[in-house]
């Protein structure tokens, strides 16, 4: 969720991304698939037409009864009734039955169930939310005490210390949920901190009828076997817990972004078997009913994505109804970077999050026999490894000589080559699997350590049992190799890792973080914002701990999304009347485009480059500034209707979706006028004029002036150049005329547009691509 990398890296193992129809390694570990005749389908009916949930469910059963011919068959077919946030149901249907029910006029969509997978001590001081500062957003919001964060993930480990409710007041009055009993879990595991816990497995069971509960390692309850859900919940709203470290590294106080916020866990994902969309949709439906204020989902899948108005994108569908009810939905952007057009969870009503590094590193000195010291990176906390033989395998004595020094193939070498030595190897693999494989091969061969030369942007992970495995870049790896070849008896000394915080460690967008532009709707900028998501220390279950108190370091946009959820909780506590769009705008328009020390943010990849809006949206979240943005780009139901009209949804479907009659204007409005805190023009030919509207949330009498940094070769004119707000003029619109001087097709160029009253600066990114030839073909 983002549970992959989209879930981070569980136990530092990389999750293989599951497609919508194929489960990890082609097989679910929880059971065999059901027969081919009946499969779970989601029947989506849009906004519910009645406030009584029992009436809504009865109508769902009646629809199935009329299709299947008997109450018994309808009851047997029904998997879920969605009756709180929206109307619909999941049922076991044949293809022909699904087609029949899809033809009914009250049905918006019928789609087969789909499949999702799962996609911090220093974080909050780094982002300026130190509990030691008496006057800041953290303390002004009472640490989010009245806010409820709903998390859809793998469950929760309730015994973790981060869920203690010491000093926390009564459960918020608007809470209507509870704690569901199951395997090794009951209501006594909840308290004033962990106020809700439910689990959703019916869709999984319907698709895996031979599933055997007694053979499953997972808990058939809200309890977290995987550990990912506990980790995510900790980052969003874990209680303050001092003195936590990973074996002495990255030590300090662990807490969530909103440490007094309440946590409600909705378990819809099952260990090594991912998450079924029907289960996710039911979890979101229940969360809406229960009264959560924020929904945090670190889940996703890979390209190609479904359109956000397609119910097969369960998260987008559930999020739409949540947002209409005032719930901010925060999602991970995915871990398919650095490739372009890979960002997921891209619906315009979702707050989509990219991952950055922290200003923290773990330098690990390597002293060569010629007394040259090379700084690698590792999480090695064992004793110093004195001067030991150093080898680069080059002569395996077989036909695989060209692979002998490759980390993934060290096992082709004889054990005697590596026994008692530190081994140098090279890899081009982008994930940590090569590192873990190399460490395993060397250890099994009797080696005592491994140095891995790899892409410098790759994520750092510790090796099991604290085996010495040190990462260097290719340049340093080549220097070590040249030393090995220059002497008859090369040796190396490996020192324990240290923790370095602050300068000179720079912030970077993580290489794995999925990038824009948006492949579904190119005019909608995604991701929206970035937050730390690399080597984040947080709680887990005791099955996967690297710390005797139950903590682990994971990386992924899974870890970045709950950081934003924590910030959203603080903003919600401070501004109860702000809409989800206003909160998103406040976060985007006040973000850092440098790191907190003022240094430019780079984006990891090949090659590394300066970060742009497709890497980090508005930038790195700046919680303090977001609390007082001055102006916001707000959105209401009318704006979402306008958006759906622009992307081609028919009026009947829109009416069902929003629960009231809708007529799209003629001509159809431009998607460029959708009131986002960004402007993205994917196909500029000559010029275009678009509109934005700002709402004043700062001092009543305010005057703002515009400043534009135009993209290269693009002219930007804003009218008017001054906006005046007062008690009767709280919303003001302006127009932006954008023209290009380019004579050929270009890639994207980037700029910004800022409104400032010299106290508040509301900045939005500009992304413009000239597409002259494409338009020529369109017109001819």
How many beta carbons lie within 10 A of that of residue 89, not counting itself?
Answer: 27
Alpha-carbon distance values, 425 to 273, 321, 376, 495 (Å): 33, 51, 14, 19
Both structure tokens of 361: 């590193």
Distances 226 to 8, 118, 221, 445, 769 between C-alpha atoms, Å: 12, 10, 13, 31, 43
Residue with the two structure tokens 């220390």? 537
Alpha carbon distances (Å) from 565 to 6, 7, 537, 573: 16, 15, 17, 12
DSSP one-letter string for 27-96: S-TT-----SS-EEEEEEEES-S-S-HHHHHHHHHHHHHHHHSSHHHHHHHEEEEE-SSSEEEEEEE-HH
Q: Which of 109, 228, 231, 760 is catalytic?
A: 228
CB atoms within 10 A of CB 291: 19
DSSP state of 462: P
Name the DSSP letter for residue 17. P
Residue 638 three-state SS: helix
Residue found under tokens 């299709």 = 67
For 502, the token pair is 């602050």
3 state SS for 216-241 = CCCCCCCECCCCHHHHHHHHHHCCCE
What three-state secondary structure class fits 643? helix
Give, as one character, the DSSP assignment of residue 685. S
228 catalytic? Reply is yes
Tell which residue, 401, 407, 405, has the closest CA to residue 393.
405
Per-residue CA distances from 263 to 166, 201, 234, 335, 744 (Å): 14, 20, 9, 25, 53
Strands, E assignment, 380-535: 385-391, 422-426, 449-453, 469-472, 491-494, 500-501, 508-509, 529-532
**Does 575 participate in catalysis according to the annotation?**
no
Token pair 């942007």 is at which residue? Answer: 457
- Burial (CB count <10 Å: 0-12, 13-18, 19+), residue 504: exposed
Q: In this structure, what are the phi and psi dihedrals at residue 200, rounded to the nearest 5 degrees?
A: -140, 110
678 is catalytic: no
Helix (H, G, I), strand (E, B) or coil at 613: helix
| Candidate list 113, 125, 153, 218, residue with the active-site label | 153
| Choice among 81, 239, 361, 558 that is catalytic | 558
Q: Which of 387, 441, 450, 388 is nearest to 414 (CA)?
A: 441
- Give the residue numbers marked as catalytic: 153, 228, 558
């Amino acid at each position: 969720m983002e549970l992959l990398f989209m879930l981070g890296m569980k136990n530092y193992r990389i999750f293989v991304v599951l497609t919508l129809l194929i489960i990890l390694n082609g097989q679910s570990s929880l059971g065999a698939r059901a027969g081919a005749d009946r499969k779970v389908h989601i029947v989506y009916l849009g906004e519910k037409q009645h406030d009584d949930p029992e009436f809504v469910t009865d109508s769902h059963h009646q629809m199935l009864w009329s299709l299947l011919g008997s109450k018994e068959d309808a009851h047997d077919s029904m998997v879920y009734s969605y009756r709180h946030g929206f109307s619909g149901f999941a049922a076991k249907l044949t293809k022909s039955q699904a087609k029949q029910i899809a033809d009914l006029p009250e049905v918006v969509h019928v789609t087969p169930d789909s499949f999702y997978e799962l996609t911090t001590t220093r974080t909050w001081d780094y982002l300026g939310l130190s509990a030691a500062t008496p006057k800041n957003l953290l303390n002004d919001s009472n640490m989010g005490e009245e806010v409820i964060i709903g998390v859809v993930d793998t469950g929760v480990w309730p015994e973790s210390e981060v869920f203690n409710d010491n000093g926390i007041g009564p459960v918020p009055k608007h809470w209507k949920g509870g704690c569901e009993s199951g395997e090794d879990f009951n209501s006594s595991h909840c308290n004033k901190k962990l106020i809700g816990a439910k689990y959703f497995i019916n869709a999984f069971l319907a698709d895996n009828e031979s599933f055997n509960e007694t053979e499953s390692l997972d808990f058939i309850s809200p309890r977290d076997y995987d550990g990912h859900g506990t980790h995510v919940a900790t980052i969003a709203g874990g209680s303050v817990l001092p003195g936590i470290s990973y074996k002495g590294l990255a030590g300090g106080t662990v807490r969530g972004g909103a440490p007094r916020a309440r946590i409600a866990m909705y378990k819809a994902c099952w260990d090594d078997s991912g998450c079924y969309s029907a289960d996710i949709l039911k979890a979101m439906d229940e969360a809406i009913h229960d009264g959560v204020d924020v929904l945090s989902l670190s889940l996703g899948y890979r390209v190609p994505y479904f359109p956000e108005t397609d119910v097969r994108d369960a998260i987008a569908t559930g999020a739409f109804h949540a947002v209409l009810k005032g719930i901010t939905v925060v999602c991970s952007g995915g871990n398919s970077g650095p490739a372009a057009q890979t960002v997921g969870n891209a619906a315009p009503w979702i707050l989509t999050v990219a991952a950055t590094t922290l200003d923290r590193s773990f330098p690990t000195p390597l002293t060569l026999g010629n007394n040259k010291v090379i700084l690698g990176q590792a999480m090695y906390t064992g004793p110093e490894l004195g001067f030991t033989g150093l080898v680069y395998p080059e002569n395996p004595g077989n036909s695989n000589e060209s692979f002998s020094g490759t980390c993934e193939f060290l096992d082709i070498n004889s054990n005697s080559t590596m026994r008692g030595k530190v081994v140098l190897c090279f890899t081009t693999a982008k994930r940590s699997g090569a590192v873990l494989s190399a460490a395993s091969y060397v250890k099994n061969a009797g080696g005592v350590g491994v140095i891995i030369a790899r892409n410098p942007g790759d994520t750092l992970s510790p090796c099991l049992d604290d085996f010495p495995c040190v990462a260097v870049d290719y340049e340093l790896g080549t220097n070590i190799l040249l030393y090995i070849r220059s002497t008859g008896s090369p040796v190396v000394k490996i020192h324990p890792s240290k923790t370095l915080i602050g300068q000179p460690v720079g912030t970077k967008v993580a290489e794995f973080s999925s990038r824009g532009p948006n492949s579904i709707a190119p005019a909608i900028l995604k991701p929206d914002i970035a937050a730390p998501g690399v080597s984040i220390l947080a709680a887990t279950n005791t099955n996967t701990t690297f710390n005797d108190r139950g903590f682990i370091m994971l990386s992924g946009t899974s870890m970045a999304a709950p950081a934003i959820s924590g910030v959203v909780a603080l903003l919600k506590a401070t501004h109860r009347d702000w809409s989800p769009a206003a909160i998103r705008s406040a976060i985007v328009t006040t973000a850092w485009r440098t790191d907190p020390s003022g240094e430019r943010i780079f984006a990891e990849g090949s090659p590394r480059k300066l970060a742009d809006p497709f890497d980090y949206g508005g930038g790195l979240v700046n919680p303090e500034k977001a609390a007082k943005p001055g102006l916001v780009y707000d959105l209401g139901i009318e704006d979402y209707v306008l958006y759906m009209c622009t992307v081609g949804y028919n009026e009947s479907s829109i009416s069902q979706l929003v629960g009231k009659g809708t007529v799209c204007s003629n001509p159809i409005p431009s998607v460029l006028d959708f009131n986002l805190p960004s402007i993205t023009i994917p196909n500029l030919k000559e010029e275009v004029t678009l509109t934005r509207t700002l709402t004043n949330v700062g001092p009543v009498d305010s005057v703002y002036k515009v400043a534009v940094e135009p993209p290269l070769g693009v002219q930007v004119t804003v009218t008017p150049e001054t906006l005046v707000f007062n008690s009767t003029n709280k919303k003001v619109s302006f127009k932006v005329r954008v023209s290009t001087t380019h004579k050929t097709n270009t890639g994207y160029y980037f700029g910004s547009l800022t409104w400032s009253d010299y106290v508040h600066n509301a900045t939005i990114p500009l992304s413009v691509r000239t597409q002259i030839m494409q338009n020529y073909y369109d017109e001819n």
